[in-house]
Structure 1
Amino acid sequence: MTTIGRVIFGKSRLLGNISPAELKEAIQALSDAIAIEREKGRVTIHPFMILFKGLSDAIEHGAVLSPDQRSTIRSHLDRAAVDFGRDRDLMAEAQRLKRLL
C-alpha cells in the first residue's frame, strides 16, 4: 500500500500535477496501510511521512482536497502527533501540511 502511494505522489512530483482520481487513490492506499499496521499492532512512520509530504507537494501544485479527504487527513495528522510526536521530520511535514489545508 505504501508503494502505491509513493509511486503516485512521485509521479505527481515529476509531472507537477495530480488528477483527482490519483489523489483519491494515493490517500486511500496510504490510509489503508496505516489502518493495516494499526490492526497488526506495529505502526510505523513511513505511510504518514509519504502521505504528508506527498499531499503537501500536491497541494502546492494545485491539488484540491474534498471535505471528506480533509477530514481524513486531519485525523491522520492528529494520530501521527500522538504516535510520533517526537519525530522532528514528521512533525515538520505535518506542520507544513496543516498550513496548506
Structure 2
Amino acid sequence: MTYPHPDFDPLDRLLAEARQPTPADEGAAGRFLSAHRARLARQRRRTWAGGLSALLASAAAVAGVAALRPSSPLPVSAAYDVYVQAAYGGTETAGTETETTGAEAGW
C-alpha cells in the first residue's frame, strides 16, 4: 500500500518491521505464558479449596440440624412402653422420670 505523501513511507516500513516477531518477542511471550499458567493454577487451587470448605461447612450445618431434631421412638421402644403400661398399670411411659432437686432428695 502506497500513500501519496512521502512522510508515510518511513512509517509504513516501521510498522512492517514491528509486525515481524523477533527472538526477544518469543522469550517475552514464553515468560508471559508461564506466569499466566502459574496464576491460573493458583486460582484453580483457591477455587478448589474454597469449594471444598463450602462443602464441608454445608455438611456440618446439615449434621447439626439433624442432631438437634428429636428422633422418633423406635418400634422396639414403643412396644416396650406398651408392655410397661400393661404390666404395671402406669400412666407414665417407660424411661421418663421426674427430676428431683438436691434438697428434695435429702442432700
- TM bucket, shorter chain: under 0.3
Instruction: Give TM-score, length-normalised by structure 1.
Output: 0.24
Instruction: Give TM-score, length-normalised by structure 2.
Output: 0.22
Q: Which has the higher contact order (CA 8 A, sep 6+)?
A: 1
Bigger Cα Rg: 2
Q: Which has the higher helix share?
A: 1
